[in-house]
Amino acid sequence: MAAASHSWTSVRELADGETTDDLFGFLTTEANQVVGAIHPKAMSVILTQPDELDVWMKAPVEEVLQLQRFLPDGRLACVDPPRPLE
C-alpha cells in the first residue's frame, strides 16, 4: 500500500491579507538502516496497513503519533534508478 496525503487551510497573513495556501504535513521518525545510509536524520513514516490510513486522516493526534515508527530493516530496499528513455 502506498498513499500520500495533503491538507490545506486558509491562512491569514498580515502583510498579504487573506490567502489560501497548499500546506503539506509529513510525519517523520528515526531513519531505519536503508534510509539512514542516504538520510541519517529522519525518514517519512510509511503506513503499511489500510486501517492506518484512517488513523492518519481522522484520529486524534495522540493516536496518530502511535504510527510514528520506522519500517523494520528488510521492508525497504535501495534499487538502481531505471535507465533513461532513449
Residue with the larger pLDDT of the pair 38 and 7: 38
Query: Which of 63, 32, 60 shows the shortest CA–CA distance to 46?
Result: 32
Residue 25 to residues 16, 57, 61: CA-CA distances in angstroms? 23, 11, 13
Where in the chain are the domains? 27-73
Which residue's C-alpha cell is 495533503?
A: 6
pTM of the model: 0.60
Q: What is the pLDDT of residues 3-35, one digit of tens each?
A: 555 555 566 666 777 667 666 677 889 999 999
Give which of 46, 4, 42 is closest to 25, Cα–Cα. Answer: 4
